[in-house]
Chains A and B, each alone.
Chain A
Amino acid sequence: LAKTTQPISMDSYEGQEVNITCSHNNIATNDYITWYQQFPSQGPRFIIQGYKTKVTNEVASLFIPADRKSSTLSLPRVSLSDTAVYYCLVRRATYNQGGKLIFGQGTELSVKP
């Protein structure tokens, strides 16, 4: 599975838009890009997933360029409750790999008042 690289930490202020970029240079044709969020003392929680172009849900947007070697998670107007660790993952769509989740170090986002 493609290795992902993302910033170790980011700081932001309430009300700002936050963009976290992840690089996955060795992504394969049948790989999906997925983002998870983790609060202290809790398990990770799914945020968003995409294959190409742009995906948006009620929480975030995910931008994936045509070459798919990177992706950007966009959090609009963050609040203090968005302080968490954000993980970018690549998942492969084959029978015995189809669910496999390999987490990297994640990006620790700190939102300040």
Chain B
Amino acid sequence: DVKVTQSSRYLVKRTGEKVFLECVQDMDHENMFWYRQDPGLGLRLIYFSYDVKMKEKGDIPEGYSVSREKKERFSLILESASTNQTSMYLCASSQGGANTEAFFGQGTRLTVV
């Protein structure tokens, strides 16, 4: 089975902390994604990576950065966490091409206090 694993299910961090959310996939997929999901706003794309070291901004990249040093791992970094970054964060991966299925992790619920 394809597996996308996010390092934490729940996370509580303090304002101003640097936060790392890790995502690992085991299917040798080229594409990886980070989304955040908030009530009433749906899923919003933060960053997208289509190859190692390649990244593209999504709709809401402000306050976030990403790292993809290895194909299987895509990290989302909150440089200085703020309360408005409290959200559910979802990672996904897919094989290259537009006609392939994307697989999602279970999500990390991040609370910034």
A residues apposed to B, CB below 8 Å = 30-32, 36, 41-46, 49, 51, 87, 91-106
Q: Which residue of B is nearest A89, CB measured? A: B102
In terms of DSSP, what is the predominant structure of the interface of chain B? strand
Chain B residues 1-45 with CB under 8 Å of chain A are 4, 30-31, 33, 35, 41-45
Given contacts A101-B45, A106-B42, contact A91 B106 (CB under 8 A): no
CA distance A93 to B61 in the complex (A): 23
Query: Smallest CB–CB gap between A73 and chain B, Å?
Result: 16
For this complex, 21 residue pairs linking A to B, each with C-beta atoms less than 8 Å apart, are A32-B98, A36-B102, A43-B92, A43-B105, A43-B107, A44-B104, A46-B101, A46-B102, A49-B99, A49-B101, A51-B99, A93-B97, A93-B98, A97-B50, A99-B48, A99-B50, A100-B50, A101-B45, A102-B59, A103-B44, A103-B45
B63 adjacent to chain A (CB < 8 Å)? no
B84 adjacent to chain A (CB < 8 Å)? no
Number of interface residues of B (CB under 8 A): 31
B94 adjacent to chain A (CB < 8 Å)? yes
Q: Which residue of B is nearest A104, CB measured? A: B42
Whether the pair B43, A96 counts as a contact (CB closer than 8 A) is no
Query: Smallest CB–CB gap between B98 and chain A, Å?
Result: 4
Whether the pair A32, B99 counts as a contact (CB closer than 8 A) is yes
Whether the pair B99, A99 counts as a contact (CB closer than 8 A) is no
